[in-house]
Structure 1
Amino acid sequence: MAKVEPKLEEQCEALYEQMTIRSNASPEGKAKTFTQTELLDLGIVKKEEDLMGLLQGLADKQLVRFMSIGPQTVFALRARDVAQKICRLTQDERMVYTFVENQGLNGAWTKHLKQKTGLVQAVINKVIKTLEGRVLIKSVKNIKAPAQKSYILAHLDPGDDVTGGPWHSDGELDSEMIGISANVVIKFVESRSWDHKTVKVERHRSMSPIDMLGEPAHIKKEPGSPTRINGTAHHSGDHKRKRDDTADIEDLARRRKKYDKVEVQVAYPPGYAQYPTAAEIFDMLKNSGFIKNQLRMEDIQSFLDMLVMDERIERIGQGFRTIRGIRGGTKMMQSGLQDGLMSTDDQELDENGLTQTPCGRCPVFDLCEEGGPVNARNCEYFDTWLKA
C-alpha cells in the first residue's frame, strides 16, 4: 500500500465523507456510483489528475472501487467496516467477493461463480461459507431459478428481478397476500366512492286468501244480501261488525309498522372530488403494516391496473368526459360561443356528461343522421373531443 502524504490524507478523508453524504441522500443509497464530473463538482480538488490520485488512495484502502459502465469509468463507495474485512481476505476470497459485488442487485449464481473465477466447486463452497460468516455476502432466492442459490452483498437488498417484488414471498408468488391486499383496496375505494344512507321502504301487506281469490264471477250480490263466511252470515251496508279489544291492539301495532329501514348506497353528486387517488391508496397500504415487503408507488400502480383489468375497480380521470370533470365547458364549446353557434343561455345551462360531448350542444343536432350532410362520420369536432 502506497504511503499517502498528510495533506493528501486529509483530502482523501474529505472526499470520502462528501461521497458518503451524497450517497445517503440519493435514491440509490449505498449503491450509488459517481462520475469524475460529479466528484470534481464537490470542490475537494480542481484538477482531474489530483482527483484520480485521491481515488487511488481510497482504493488502496478498499474504500472505493472502480467500475466500468460502457466506455465510462465510475466510482462506488464501500463502508469502512466492509473495507477492513476485505483487506483481510485471501486471493480466492477476494476474487469471489469482487464478482458478487460487480453483479449488484441482480445477484451472482453459484454456476456463474465457478465459470468466472475458475475455482473448483469445493473451494467456492468454502469461500462462500467464509464470506457469509464475515457478513460480507448473503444468499437470496431467485424467482428465475428457485432451486439454485444466488448471492449478493450483505448490506444490499435484492432487486425485483430477483425477488419478484413485494407480491412475492421466499421467491414464490404470495396469492394469499395479493387477495387480502385486493380486498383492502376495494373496501377503501368503496368507502370513498359511495355514501351510505338509511331509507324507509314501504312494507307490502300480505293479502288474505279471500282477498287473493276475490268474489266468484258467477255470483251476483244484491244490495244488503248477506255474505256467508265460515258459516256465519255477514250483512253489507251500514251494518258494523263489532270488534274485540284484542283485535284493535293487534291492528294498531300492524299499522305502526308500515315501513322498514334499509341501508342503501347512494352515488355522490356530480363534482364530487374525493375519490381516492393512487397516492392515497399507496399511503393507506404502507401505513397498514400488513405488507412486510418494501412498497413503491410503481408497485401499487401496477396492482391497481390489475384490479381495473379484472373489473373490480374503475379508473376515472379528471378530463371533461368524467363525472369529476363536468365543471366548465370545453374549448370547443367556448369557440362555438364566440362564433355565435351557441347562445349565452346555452352556456349557462347545467352541464353534464352529454352536454360536454360534441352532440350535446350541436346547433344542427336535429339534422344529423347516417348518410346525411351532417353525420358522426364527418364531424370535425369528434377528433378534438376524443383526443382531449
Structure 2
Amino acid sequence: MSKSQGPSSLKRKRPDLGTKNSSGGALIGQEKVLYDLICSKQSMGICTFDMKRETKFAESVVTKSLKSLQTKGLIKIVQHYQNKGKKFYLSNDFEPAKELTGGNWYRDGELDKDYINTLKQVCARMIQRKKLMTIEGIVESFKQSGAFKVELSREQIEEIVNALVLDNQVMEVKSSGFGEFEFIPIGKICYKYCTQGGGLKGEPKIGAMASIPCGVCPRITYCTPNGIISPATCVYYTKWLDF
C-alpha cells in the first residue's frame, strides 16, 4: 500500500466496452453490466452481495462474470482491512479508498507499526533539536529532510505529533509572544520535547502560567494589584487579554 493516498484518480483510459478490451475479448451482456456497476463505485468498490442485489443476477452468473473480468485484467479484489473475509471488487482504473485499506497507516490490511514508529522517532528528534516548533515548522522540516521517498501530508504529520503528545514525548504549549516565543504569534500552538518524566528536557515541566506573559515576566515578584507594576497597568498582560 502506498504511504500517502490522495483522491482516487484514473490510472489509464477506460476501455471501450462496446468493442474489444485490452485482452482482446468483447464485453457483452452480464459482463458489461457488472463492469459498468463496478466502475460506477469508483474507489469504494462493491461486494458480491451488493452486485447480486443491484443487478438481480444469480450467484453463478456473478461468479462467472467476475472471473472473466479478472482474467481480462479489468478488475481487482481488495480485502477490507477490518474484515479480511469481505472482498470488494474495483476497476483497475481506481485505487482503493482509505475506507477499505485503512488509510495511510495500513499496509496490506495491517497497521504499519514500524513505519509509524520511524516517523515518530524522526519527528521527536526534530523537535528536540529545535527545542520549540510550530506544526508548520515541523511540516517544513519533513519536506527538507528528504528522509522519506513519499511526501507526507500535513494531516499525517499532525497525527504523528499528536501521537507523540499522547506518549508524553512532546508537550503542547501556547505561545506567550515573549522570551523564546518572541517570534511566534500569541496563542499559537507550539511543541516542545519532553523528558521521560514528562517535563521539558533541561527545564521544569510547563504549567498553565507559561502560556501567559506573567509566567516569564522577570518582575512578577513586584507585581501587586495596586502597585506601580500591576496587571491593570501591564501593557503585555493587556495585549495578551486582547488576543
**Superposition TM-score, scaled by structure 2 size:** 0.64
The count of residues paired between Structure 1 and Structure 2 equals: 209
* 1:190-229 equivalences in 2 (<5 Å): 190-193=128-131
> Kindly tell me: are residues 156 and 287 of structure 1, through their superposed partners in 2, closer, same or farther at Cα, counting changes over 3 Å?
farther
The answer on whether the counterparts of 1:105 and 1:159 sit within 8 Å (CA) in structure 2 is: yes
What's the CA shift for 1:131? 1.3
User: Who is 1:385 aligned against?
Assistant: 240
Question: 1:85 is matched with which residue: 17, 21, 31?
Answer: 21
What's the CA shift for 1:180? 2.6
| 1:185-236 deviations in Å (ceiling 9; x for gaps) | 223333443xxxxxxxxxxxxxxxxxxxxxxxxxxxxxxxxxxxxxxxxxxx
| 1:330-377 deviations in Å (ceiling 9; x for gaps) | xxxxxxxxxxxxxxxxxxxxxxx79944994999x64329xxxxx98x
What's the CA shift for 1:314? 3.3
1:288 equivalenced with 2:184 (yes/no): no
Higher relative contact order (CA 8 A, sep 6+): 2
The one-letter code matched in structure 1 to 2:159 is S
SS of the aligned residue for 1:150 comes to: strand
Unaligned runs of 5+ in 2: 1-5, 187-209
User: Who is 1:153 aligned against?
Assistant: 91
> Kindly tell me: are residues 287 and 99 of structure 1, through their superposed partners in 2, closer, same or farther at Cα, counting changes over 3 Å?
farther
> Kindly tell me: are residues 122 and 284 of structure 1, through their superposed partners in 2, closer, same or farther at Cα, counting changes over 3 Å?
farther
What's the CA shift for 1:306? 1.8
CA distance in 1, matches of 2:157, 2:211: 33
Unaligned runs of 5+ in 1: 1-26, 32-77, 194-271, 330-352, 370-374
| 1:236-277 deviations in Å (ceiling 9; x for gaps) | xxxxxxxxxxxxxxxxxxxxxxxxxxxxxxxxxxxx889982
CA distance in 2, matches of 1:29, 1:286: 25
> Kindly tell me: are residues 320 and 182 of structure 1, through their superposed partners in 2, closer, same or farther at Cα, counting changes over 3 Å?
same
* Paired-residue identity, %: 21
SS of the aligned residue for 2:84 comes to: coil
**Superposition TM-score, scaled by structure 1 size:** 0.43
> Kindly tell me: are residues 96 and 326 of structure 1, through their superposed partners in 2, closer, same or farther at Cα, counting changes over 3 Å?
closer
The answer on whether the counterparts of 2:8 and 2:43 sit within 8 Å (CA) in structure 1 is: no
- Note the aligned Cα RMSD (angstroms): 4.6
> Kindly tell me: are residues 81 and 385 of structure 1, through their superposed partners in 2, closer, same or farther at Cα, counting changes over 3 Å?
same
SS of the aligned residue for 1:367 comes to: coil
* 1:322-333 equivalences in 2 (<5 Å): 323-325=180-182
